[in-house]
């Protein structure tokens, strides 16, 4: 009897042992390959499909500022207000992710894994194409929705003031803070993307918890923050140069580093280090045993 067999709980029937095997969480290689395939599909989409999906995501992200402003305007002043109003930050992410719209910070992980798996100039070019179109579409949507929220007679004065306060709080960060907080934000979004395939039934809770913590920690995010800061620009409190140089560029760099270079590289290295094989080859090696398990269940 082998050591592995002697460690098993005695008295389990074949069906019970099969149930134990089927209840195991997916291996990191399976998660990696699932996300890599999603990224590969995104890299193959047409420019028009990417653009319209990204534009829709930018518009949907206005829900985050809208929800936070509505909550702040109806809560008493104090630190407890942020604890409650931060829940509203999740609204835009829920809409975008569940509707499968193109969000730039999601792509810092999903679209990067195919490039890490097969690091060719062609794949790198496809990644830059995807990033460029999605980022442009996201920003166009955020600027448009911020202008609509300011100019159209939709919200009362207290809510308009709350929108301004949210944007002012973002701009209190200096450039180094924008960058550092952007790294944390990019890492958190990548963590969320990695978790969802293994816990699809709990997707909403994963999105809520991660994005709520982002709001509570005042971490900077290029897409949500673009709604908040551009609202200040449209209102005449900030300039477009401050939007670009003080907020957008350092936050964007931080998001990319946190999502791609830190989380993406570490996750990819973890899977490659398991056996020295690529994640897709590890998955192929598992398929015969999975097929045998399926045959036994039949």
Rounded CA-CA distance 94/96 in Å is: 6
Q: Answer for the pair 257, 183: CB distance below 8 angstroms, yes or no.
A: yes
Start-to-end C-alpha separation, the chain: 28
Lowest mean pLDDT among 20-34, 208-222, 225-239: 20-34
Rounded CA-CA distance 157/73 in Å is: 9
Average pLDDT over residues 46-55: 95
Residues in contact with 118: Cβ distance below 8 Å, sequence separation at least 6, in sequence order: none
- 181: tokens are 């907080």
**Statement: residue 29 has pLDDT above 80:** no
Rounded CA-CA distance 21/173 in Å is: 49
**Which 8-state DSSP code applies to residue 174?**
-
**Statement: residue 202 has pLDDT above 50:** yes
**Mean per-residue pLDDT of the chain:** 84
Q: Answer for the pair 89, 141: CB distance below 8 angstroms, yes or no.
A: no
Rounded CA-CA distance 1/16 in Å is: 20
The full DSSP string for 15-34 is HHHHHHHHTSPPPHHHHHHH
Per-residue model confidence as pLDDT tens digits over 134-186: 999 999 999 999 999 999 999 999 999 999 999 999 999 999 999 999 999 99
Q: Kindly indicate whether the domain formed by 26-286 is annotated with CATH number 1.20.1080.10.
A: yes
- 201: tokens are 């039934």
Cα dihedral across residues 187, 232, 90, 42: positive or negative = negative
Residue among 288, 241, 257 at smallest CA distance from 105: 257
């Amino acid at each position: 009897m082998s050591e592995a067999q002697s460690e098993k709980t005695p008295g389990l029937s074949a069906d019970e042992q099969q149930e134990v095997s089927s209840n195991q969480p997916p291996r990191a290689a399976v998660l990696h390959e699932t996300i890599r395939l999603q990224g590969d599909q995104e890299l193959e989409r047409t420019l028009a499909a990417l653009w319209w999906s990204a534009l829709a995501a930018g518009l949907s992200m206005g829900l985050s500022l809208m929800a936070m402003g509505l909550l702040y305007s109806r809560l008493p002043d104090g630190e407890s207000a942020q604890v409650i109003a931060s829940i509203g930050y999740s609204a835009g992410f829920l809409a975008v992710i569940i509707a499968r719209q193109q969000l730039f910070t999601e792509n810092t992980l999903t679209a990067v894994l195919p490039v890490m798996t097969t690091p060719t100039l062609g794949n790198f070019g496809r990644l830059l194409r995807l990033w460029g179109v999605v980022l442009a579409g996201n920003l166009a949507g955020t600027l448009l929705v911020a202008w609509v929220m300011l100019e159209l007679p939709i919200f009362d004065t207290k809510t308009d003031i709350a929108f301004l306060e949210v944007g002012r709080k973002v701009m209190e960060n200096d450039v180094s803070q924008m960058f550092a907080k952007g790294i944390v934000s990019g890492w958190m979004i990548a963590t969320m993307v990695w978790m969802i395939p293994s816990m699809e039934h709990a997707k909403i809770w994963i999105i809520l918890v991660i994005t709520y913590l982002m709001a509570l920690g005042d971490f900077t995010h290029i897409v949500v923050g673009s709604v908040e800061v551009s609202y200040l620009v449209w209102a005449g409190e900030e300039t477009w140069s401050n939007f670009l140089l003080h907020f957008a560029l350092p936050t964007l760099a931080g998001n990319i580093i946190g999502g791609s270079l830190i989380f993406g590289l570490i996750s990819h290295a973890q899977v490659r280090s398991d056996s020295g094989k690529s994640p897709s080859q590890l998955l192929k090696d598992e398929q015969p045993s999975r097929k045998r398990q399926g045959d036994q269940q039949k």
